[in-house]
Structure 1
Amino acid sequence: MSDWTVEQTSVGSGTIRHEAAPRFAARWTTGDDPDELAEIEGPCWTDEGSSPEDAIHLHGIAWSDALPEQADVQRLMAHAVREIDAAIARNL
């Protein structure tokens, strides 16, 4: 069973949850649409992908456990992007 839950709420956006410690939930969106990116409030973690339209942005990150060290946050966000990318690929 995976520690990750990825939901796609509309084309190019959704939510992701990490169910193991350190637990967190976040919203995600893809692409480089300036109007969509302008609506993102607060911190945002971005993976540029292979092109601007492939970028994945994680935002609205809410930690259920204590905030981990920065290196662990980077590792978790990179893993989250891989999980989102895999979920998108499965839905094509």
Structure 2
Amino acid sequence: MTVNLQEAEARAAVIAKQLLPMITAALIVKQPPAPRPLSPKEEAIMAACGELGRAVDRLEATKYTPAEPRARITLEAAARNLRKLIDLREAKHARK
């Protein structure tokens, strides 16, 4: 069975027309790449952020009570720790 060029082009056009929606859908649904894992320094910064947030919550919960001074000291220590970690990370990037 021989097929002339015009018939082959017509068949190809029909097939392409049927495949186009599937290809378009596959391109639209394409998943974004997985986020890269955090470095140990970034994990330490994230943990310090969590500690700082919990210290803020403790201070708010103990306002105007005898426990407030201790909560304030804890908050200040958590803020200093976070600042130290960020400064270390920035110093590393500044050397490049």
**TM > 0.5:** no
> Which of 1 and 2 has greater Rg?
2
More strand by share: 1
> What TM-score does the superposition give when structure 2 sets the normalisation length?
0.32
> What TM-score does the superposition give when structure 1 sets the normalisation length?
0.34
